[in-house]
Structure 1
Amino acid sequence: MSRRIRAGVLSAGAWSESTHLPALANAEDVDLVVVSRPDGDRARELAERFGADGAETDWRAALTYDLDAVIVSSPPVAHEEMVTEALRSGAHVLCEKPFALEAGSARRMVTAARDNGRELLVAFGWSATPVFTRARALLERGGLGDVEHVAMHLVVATRELLHGSEDGGWGGSGGSQTATYTDPAVSAGGAAAVSMSHELGMLLWLLDRRVTEVTARTHPAGHRIDLHDSVLLTFEGEVTATVSCASTHPVTTRPEWYLGIQGSAADLWIDSALDRWRVRFADGTIDESRTAGDGAYSAQLPTQTLIDIAAGRLPAAPAGMSGDLAARVVEVTDAIYHSARVGGAVRLPEGKES
């Protein structure tokens, strides 16, 4: 029988309570060893509920538990120190997103993973959703011909969080601290960092091209926290993309993705909320399907991926969840906020987002 995986969660908040901790507690080959949280009473409550041996108020103390797998679930302001130290302790790491406050911090975390021979994942789990894995496979075999243009829109029920609510609708007994979503020095930004980062990760994974130029507008213009964003991206090879995200009111429906990809041979349209897939070929024929659940997000999948890596069932982080991808997302996000501030296009230097 293979050795059991020793896992810990640093800075366990509302999202960890509803997602990461249940996934670890229910995994057959995992021992949830320690939970850390600054509030000692809450740390002990979570440890007892999910069967962890230890509860720590200091995350550094949690890293002394000889862990194989660590989830970093703190606000972004603390990611770099926690991730780097967890990697140095010998653990594989899953970090929540937004990944970093700025691109330099993101690149340092990626370097730390490489230097310590550990895998670093970031929670871009949408890349494993069936409708999007199908899109990636279609692009890889050239099913659309040469990609020319992409249009992507994402609607997420984050409006109240970005306005200071503690309830993200995730079902945990404890709310999120307001600064986690309302203070850019803690959160890395508003909708562009919190929601559009998923879209950027998806686009960079699907197209496998470097972004060369960004033009962006945020709403409300000039505010510290953006609710909605509209972005024009230019990729290598003169591929263009219009990307937008909107923060809507709390609703029971899942996040809504709308993706259109125009190619020289065919067009693809995806509506994740309706599980709809449609390819229209140049000769007018149409391939259309709707399979229930194909566009639904599996929130525990990044956690399971970390477990599979720690157990040796996966050799490396999937491309759609890798630290390298996440660093590229942060570089583009930085350019989005820069463009919105200056009111014009921002070129990404050679060597950036690569």
Structure 2
Amino acid sequence: MKTIQAGIIGCGTIAKFRHLPEYDQEKGVTIKAVCDLNKERAEGYAKEFGATAYTDFEKLLEDDEIDVVSICTPNALHAPMTIKALEKGKHVLCEKPMATGSEEAQAMIDAAKKAGKLLMIGHNQRYTPSAQKARELLQSGALGKVFSFRTTFGHDGPEGWSVEGKDTWFFNKDMAFIGALGDLGVHKTDMMRYVLDEEFTEAAAMVETLVKKADVDDSAVCLLKSESGVIGTMTASWTYNAQEDNSTVIYGEKGMLRLEDDPTDSVILQYATGEKIKYELGGIQTNDEDGQVNSDVIHQFITAVREGKPSPISGEEGKKSLEVILAALESNQTKSIVKINS
């Protein structure tokens, strides 16, 4: 089995807790290089994983032995760095949100096609046991016709876990482009698209900065409608100070499905008759140090690269989830219901 050589561009929190340890755990994969503008940080991880440290990502991309790269940089850098990596013949795993707009996202997709390389977007909530089980139950007809849902992702903000603390790039619009809606909301739009197995067609939203000293949003509430007429709410917030909330409830003709809404049971199927079926499937990833369970994204990425399979979460999929967020932003600006680009 040929060893796959990996490079990680951006050595912040997501690299520390997800990409670096998960590449390291993957059989037949070696971390060949790491890159960060903070030289000390890059050198620290290089020493830990036996890699070469860079502060210039383009120099890392010149290494012909590197097969795959992870883009773990601020959102505004995702598209340009991904495109350059693809042009250099690397397979790319890019963190979410994949881009700052539709044109950027499409340029990434086009670059992957032109290079003949795999582009995967790191929407890890698809791989949580609760999302996998919910999709399975809905497709089996366990809930009957789905009517509506509510889903949320909130915590007390990135400053508590970002390597930059209160000076984190997440609060800088030039680097982040968007706040909680892009950081957390895009997770839920992607997860709901996956679980419902259909697209959203319309969005309405209120997007605000309520608490944080930032020029991006820290709170967003969105109303979404799917192509089959399912309506629901999606909330993203950096103002949930008591504890993280990553819960979803789906309502249908036979009852309701609760995901990550109970401390023990990841999924609860509750019928209108009162019967309950509980599934204890293991915890979802959280931003706490003891909540960093394997996300399966790296494994899926490496497997697809090694076996020449299509991207598990393609650029096209990432773009569809991004379009929901872009429509929500437009809705907030225009104070109207916005049709989502398909």
Q: Same fold (TM over 0.5)?
A: yes
Equivalent residue pairs, number: 332
Alignment partner of 1:315: what SS? Answer: coil
User: Residue 311 in 1 paired to residue 306 in 2?
Assistant: yes
Residues 137 and 99 of structure 1: CA distance in aligned 2, closer, same or farther (over 3 Å) = same
Deviation of 1:214 after TM superposition, in Å, equals 0.9
Match of 2:318 among 311, 326, 335: 326
Aligned counterpart, 1:345: 337
Match of 2:268 among 263, 270, 278: 278
Partners of 1:93 and 1:273 lie apart in 2 by: 35
Deviation of 1:290 after TM superposition, in Å, equals 4.6
What's the CA shift string for 1:296-327, capped at 9, x where partnerless?
Answer: 56354222222222322x72332xx3322211
Equivalences for residues 7-156 of structure 1 within 5 A: 7-52=6-51, 54-66=52-64, 67-156=66-155
Query: Would you say the 8 A contact 1:179–1:187 is kept in 2?
Result: no
Query: Would you say the 8 A contact 2:259–2:268 is kept in 1?
Result: yes
Partners of 2:112 and 2:21 lie apart in 1 by: 26
Partners of 1:264 and 1:116 lie apart in 2 by: 47
Query: Would you say the 8 A contact 1:22–1:50 is kept in 2?
Result: no
Partners of 2:223 and 2:124 lie apart in 1 by: 24
Residues 181 and 62 of structure 1: CA distance in aligned 2, closer, same or farther (over 3 Å) = same
The RMSD of aligned alpha carbons is 2.4
Partner letter of residue 23 of structure 1?
E
Deviation of 1:44 after TM superposition, in Å, equals 2.0
What's the CA shift string for 1:103-158, capped at 9, x where partnerless?
Answer: 22112212222232222112211111111100011122222222221111222232
Residues 23 and 124 of structure 1: CA distance in aligned 2, closer, same or farther (over 3 Å) = same
Residues 296 and 330 of structure 1: CA distance in aligned 2, closer, same or farther (over 3 Å) = closer
Partner letter of residue 320 of structure 2?
R
Query: Would you say the 8 A contact 2:33–2:53 is kept in 1?
Result: yes
User: Residue 302 in 1 paired to residue 294 in 2?
Assistant: no
Aligned counterpart, 1:3: 2
What's the CA shift string for 1:174-209, capped at 9, x where partnerless?
Answer: 436835211222112111011111101111111222
Match of 1:218 among 207, 211, 216: 207
Deviation of 1:48 after TM superposition, in Å, equals 1.1
Partners of 1:117 and 1:266 lie apart in 2 by: 45
User: Residue 246 in 1 paired to residue 237 in 2?
Assistant: yes
Aligned counterpart, 1:168: 161
Deviation of 1:273 after TM superposition, in Å, equals 5.1
Partners of 2:321 and 2:279 lie apart in 1 by: 30
Query: Would you say the 8 A contact 2:219–2:237 is kept in 1?
Result: yes
Alignment partner of 2:187: what SS? Answer: helix
Partners of 2:190 and 2:281 lie apart in 1 by: 24
Deviation of 1:221 after TM superposition, in Å, equals 6.9
Partners of 2:137 and 2:117 lie apart in 1 by: 31
Residues 175 and 25 of structure 1: CA distance in aligned 2, closer, same or farther (over 3 Å) = farther
Deviation of 1:69 after TM superposition, in Å, equals 1.3
Q: Which structure 1 segments of 5+ residues have no match?
A: none
Query: Would you say the 8 A contact 1:7–1:34 is kept in 2?
Result: yes
Alignment partner of 1:31: what SS? Answer: strand
What's the CA shift string for 1:10-63, capped at 9, x where partnerless?
Answer: 1222321232112223333111111111233332222112211x2111111111
Partners of 2:205 and 2:39 lie apart in 1 by: 42
Residues 39 and 132 of structure 1: CA distance in aligned 2, closer, same or farther (over 3 Å) = same
Query: Would you say the 8 A contact 2:129–2:281 is kept in 1?
Result: no
Partners of 2:276 and 2:116 lie apart in 1 by: 44
Query: Would you say the 8 A contact 2:71–2:94 is kept in 1?
Result: yes
Query: Would you say the 8 A contact 1:126–1:198 is kept in 2?
Result: yes
Partners of 2:129 and 2:103 lie apart in 1 by: 33
Partners of 2:37 and 2:144 lie apart in 1 by: 52
Q: Which structure 2 segments of 5+ residues have no match?
A: 287-292
What's the CA shift string for 1:247-302, capped at 9, x where partnerless?
Answer: 24677x6x4222121223332122345243222335x1523215162545635422
Match of 1:208 among 197, 205, 223: 197
